[in-house]
Chains A and B, each alone.
Chain A
Amino acid sequence: MRRRVVCILLPLFLACPVLAREPAPPPFVPPLPNLSAEARRGEHLVVIGGCHDCHTPLKNGPNGPVPDMTRMLSGHPQQFEVPPAPALAAPWMMVAIATRTGFAGPWGVSFAANLTPDPETGLGNWTEQTFIESLRTGRHMGRGRPILPPMPWEIVGQHTDAELKAIWAYLRRVPPIRNQVPAPRPPMAAATPEATGR
């Protein structure tokens, strides 16, 4: 009798973790087909790293703003006219535009870059080396102009070489999107009372 009870209850007990498991969340982005293992890893890192937060513009959805995956990772939309940023009063320091791809603060106004492999407006003529060096140095292509806030390059640059290579491998596979992100604006165009003393 006891053995019979054990034989009935044991499988149920062993199945409890399976039965109790939380359902997997729906994918944040539609997974790209036919990715290498490295690029698939990069796809995951891009999602959990929050790259879409700034580099994929928001659009209006039925329940509020949602990422527009038809413009995935293409940065600030070039057709979006950007007015002068508002002046802020302390302690407020930063504002973001409605697409969440443009940001104004003490540094001026910065726009999220086009990370797609478009050769003219994206990272098409970058190399793995210049990509990794950008994130390790905080300089455009590893040796150019400074990468502006709020891009957290100091944190993203802490990825291992393998992780950054995986991210690069994935970025080479996302659909190229022609989108000329505007140049950053100097601080005078985003004056805060602390910046100007006015």
Chain B
Amino acid sequence: MSVSGLPSPLRIWSSTAVLGLVLSTTGLATASPLPQRLGETGLYADRTLTTPARDVLAYTPQYPLWSDGATKRRWIRLPPGTSIDAHDADAWVFPVGTRVWKEFTRGRRRETRLIVRTRSGWVYGTYRWTDDGSDALLVAAAGAVDPGSDPARPGESYVFPSEQDCRSCHEGRPTPILGFSALQLSADRDPEAVHGEQPGPGMVDLGMLVDRHLIRGLPASWRARPPRIESSTEDERAALGYLHGNCGQCHNARGPLASLGLDLWLDPARRGNDTHRVIASLLGRSHFQIPGQAGPESRRLTPGAPEQSAILVRMRTREPTQQMPPVATRMVDAEAARRIEQWIQELPSRSPR
């Protein structure tokens, strides 16, 4: 059942905006350290908010996060004279003052999200664009809802995430910056990546970061041989890449959910051993009960049987208690589901863990 089929009391009940209203009226909410206007965050060089500043770098990850079909643009700004510490190739350390923006367009610019590393930690916020595109204002920490204004889903609301929603994904592993990483910026881009885009002129990749001394500690071998997913087929490379970009930020071995034993974050430093590790974790038992399946146990992935694979069942629903991912999406990614189904169907039979 889709979220749109839920009765309005549940939609309201489910919304963190309700809690935020309670917190804000009781004085328990705290003021955001972010500027109230997007134009004050350093992204743009002009007051029309159309030309990015010269010191911001545009980029596009090779395995993008599904955002209900929104067109996205991304930028990062490192403070002058600083660089990223990449000695832990799987968890880059960004300098204090780092800013990352992501703009969402659906019909028109709807929001631009911002993450900032401050001296006391990471700060998250999103800016709501006005209808005429002239300005974008900071949304309350509890998030917000624009009723009936989502052009991709007529009659449905556009939902701006709460700060807690941001933290739920971005603090699922050591580094909150998710799409700006070794695998995502590798020059060896996957031509079959789901919703993949080729980098535009001037967009940064790993090589450019090294050339401009904006990163240190990367293995020297990566210049000649950029990281990539070592897989047996192109379909598998694309499938694992999708799971990395859409699921690995929570399901990995280094974050709060490590105890679940589902590790979908690919570590570029591990090369060929990595895909075996990820697939092995996918063959484990799932605590999710597939609707209509006899017995309480199910498997995360059953080779050759997509309908008995919990990950695909959960990707194909937007019922709030079953959907995966659990936040930031209200539309099924039909193309990705098709590709994952195809990959599962073609997997050889493997023994479960």
Contact = CB atoms under 8 A, between A and B. Distances in A.
Interface string B247-289: 0001000001101110000000000000000000000000011
Interface stretch (A5-13, A18-26, A140-148, A160-168): A140-148
Contacts of A149: 13
Contacts of A140: 326
A126 interface: yes
Given A125-B260, A146-B14, A139 B168 contact: yes
Interface string A122-148: 000111011001000111111111101
B256 A133 contact: yes
A130 B5 contact: no
Given A106-B13, A146-B321, A195-B7, 18 more contacts: A106-B9, A107-B13, A108-B10, A125-B260, A125-B261, A127-B259, A130-B256, A137-B164, A140-B326, A143-B327, A144-B326, A145-B321, A146-B14, A180-B296, A183-B288, A183-B291, A186-B321, A187-B7
A145 B322 contact: yes
Contacts of B62: none
A129 B321 CA distance: 21
Contact of B16 (A133, A138, A188, A196): A138
A42 interface: no
A156 to B, nearest CB: 13
Contacts of A196: 7
Interface residues of A, number: 33
Q: Please name the 6 residue pairs, one residue from A and one from B, whose CB atoms are nearest each other, closest first.
A: A143-B168, A195-B7, A106-B9, A125-B259, A180-B296, A183-B289
B256 A142 contact: yes
9 contacts: A142-B256, A144-B326, A146-B320, A149-B13, A182-B289, A183-B291, A187-B7, A188-B5, A196-B7
A65 to B, nearest CB: 26
A138 to B, nearest CB: 7
B13 A186 contact: no
Contacts of B250: 143
A170 B22 CA distance: 30
B347 interface: no
Contacts of A154: 19, 22
Interface in B224-238: none
A7 to B, nearest CB: 56
A78 interface: yes
A175 interface: no
Contacts of A125: 259-261
Contacts of B291: 183
Contacts of B19: 138, 154
A127 B256 contact: yes
Interface string A29-43: 000000000000000
Contacts of A108: 10, 321
Nearest to A144: B326
Given A107-B10, A188-B5, A143 B326 contact: yes
B257 A143 contact: yes
B286 to A, nearest CB: 11
B273 to A, nearest CB: 24
B319 interface: yes
Contacts of B16: 138
A186 B4 CA distance: 12
Contacts of B326: 139-140, 143-146
A149 to B, nearest CB: 7
Interface string B167-188: 0110010000000000000000
B6 interface: yes
Contacts of B1: 186-188
Interface in A174-195: 180, 182-184, 186-188, 194-195
Nearest to A147: B321
B298 to A, nearest CB: 10
Contacts of A142: 168, 256
Contacts of A187: 1, 5-7, 10
Nearest to A133: B256
Contacts of A184: 321
Nearest to B250: A143
A92 B320 CA distance: 24
Contacts of A188: 1, 5
Contacts of A148: 321
A126 B323 CA distance: 20
Contact of B319 (A127, A137, A143, A186): A186
A143 B256 contact: yes
B169 A194 contact: no
Contacts of B172: 143
A15 B7 CA distance: 62
Interface string A53-84: 00000000000000000000000001000000
B218 to A, nearest CB: 30
Nearest to B257: A141
A59 to B, nearest CB: 22
